Amino acid sequence: MTRRSVEIISKNSLHPRRAAVFARAAGHFKCEIAVINGDYRVDGKSILGLISLEPQQGARIIIETDGEDEVRAVETLAKILEGQQI
């Protein structure tokens, strides 16, 4: 299992378009992917789940991956949330 904490810098870090990009990228990985915001845990491959997290600017969310390509997945998905090109 690999985990990475990502700070939400922009209030738009998980708006619907970014959530769709995140979920689409997550779908390319074989590992299980979860995104955690406080007490809420959602499937990282679910657009609606990601949008429902509603992380506030300055919050830290956790990307948790488990499976054969978990390290590459967590690195790629963290870049998406940080606004970097993948």
Residue 49 lies in a domain: yes
pLDDT at 75: 97
The DSSP bridge partners found for residue 37 are 40
Indicate whether 86 belongs to any domain.
Answer: no
CATH number at 51 reads 3.30.1340.10
Asked if residue 9 belongs to a domain, the reply is yes
**Which residue is listed with tokens 């990307």?**
63
| 49: containing domain | 2-81
- pLDDT tens, 7-33? 988 776 678 898 999 999 999 999 999
pLDDT band at 82 (very low <50, low <70, confident <90, very high): confident
The catalytic site residues sit at 15
Q: What is the pTM of this model?
A: 0.91
Residue 66 identity: D
Within a domain: residue 33?
yes
Query: Per residue in 23-72, pLDDT tens?
Result: 999 999 999 999 999 999 999 999 999 999 988 888 899 999 999 999 99
How many domains would you assign to the chain?
1
Compute the distance between CA of residue 86 and CA of residue 80 in angstroms, rounded to an integer. Answer: 7
